Amino acid sequence: MQTGMITNKNMEAFKPVLLPSVAQGLKRGLPITAIGLLDEGKAVGAVVGFADDGDVFSIASLFVAPDHRRKGGATMLMDALLSTVRAEGIRSSVLSYTEDLKEAKELEKFVKAYGGRESSDLERLYRIPIKSLFQSKYFPKGYECRSVRLFSELSPREKKTARREADKMSLKLRGGALATIRVMDSISVACFRGGHLLGYLCAGTNAKDQLSIAEHCAKNADQAVVTRLFKAFVEACRKEIKPASDLYLPAPDSRYDHLIEELKGAVNLQHNYLF
């Protein structure tokens, strides 16, 4: 077996081992680093990632065909990838996976054997029973805040303002990461002051019909705004979502962990390993 860079020119040969979004990104010339694994000229694996904020490389996917596993292919891919990104001056790479991934256990064994160091300083994905949010002391029943509005209550002009100002926060309302989620206007919320967007929390259902928070952000990382958004979101859920449902919530940094883990039934599904 041997490794080699995947480019727009040879991408067709590697399509069987690439996610459709990766193939499309390479075709569009996005800054994706992709390395393929070949066995007698046949594509049998690939590792793909991108530079995150310039100093950390995020490994988006690592795949080896089932009939070629346990033959050193994944090690060859990781060695080639880390050699490539370190030559570009990036000293830290991260590979993440979630427990609901079909091959999570197998991947966990590999990354630990390869030398990955588990990190708790990176984004995690929690599964939380909605009932726990309703019962939590953090989310009082009947909460109201004039500056926070449901998406369904926004006028066309306010929605236009929200999209424009969200772009300044490097987020896109109903775009980017939100393209993979069916946004629910009845529980998604935005915070305004003097006609300006201070932050928003966008929620809906993903491809598996799981209730998820796709993105939440506050201008200048204002925690008071984040708190108001979450309280208003939970209050909206009381009216729209069954208590037996689960919520999938990304925690952008360790400040949220101790709060989330106090909620009954909260489970961290995402694990991050640094190399």
Tell me, yes or no, whether 80 and 143 share the same domain.
Answer: no
Tell me, yes or no, whether 201 and 101 share the same domain.
Answer: no
CATH number at residue 155: 3.40.630
Tell me, yes or no, whether 30 and 104 share the same domain.
Answer: yes
Q: Identify the pLDDT of residue 254.
A: 66
Tell me, yes or no, whether 94 and 203 share the same domain.
Answer: no
Tell me, yes or no, whether 100 and 148 share the same domain.
Answer: no
Tell me, yes or no, whether 106 and 160 share the same domain.
Answer: no
Last residue of a domain, one of 119, 148, 168: 119
Last residue of a domain, one of 88, 119, 150: 119
Mean pLDDT of 82-104: 82
Q: Which helix (H) or strand (E) element contains residue 152?
A: none
Q: What percent of the chain has pLDDT over 90?
A: 27
Residue-wise pLDDT tens digits, 170-201: 555 544 445 567 889 999 999 988 888 898 88
Number of structural domains found in the chain: 2
Is residue 169 predicted with pLDDT exceeding 70? no
Based on its alpha-carbon atoms, the radius of gyration of the chain, rounded to whole angstroms, reads 21
Type of residue at 156? P
What range does the domain containing 259 cover? 124-270
Tell me, yes or no, whether 26 and 105 share the same domain.
Answer: yes
Is residue 102 predicted with pLDDT exceeding 80? no
Mean pLDDT of 113-128: 83
The pTM assigned to this predicted structure is 0.69
Residue-wise pLDDT tens digits, 140-160: 999 999 999 999 998 888 888
Q: Identify the pLDDT of residue 177.
A: 47
DSSP for residue 71: S
Contact 15, 26 (CB under 8 A): no
Task: Name residue 127's beta-bridge partners.
Answer: 248, 267
Mean pLDDT of the chain: 84
Q: Is 91 domain-assigned?
A: yes
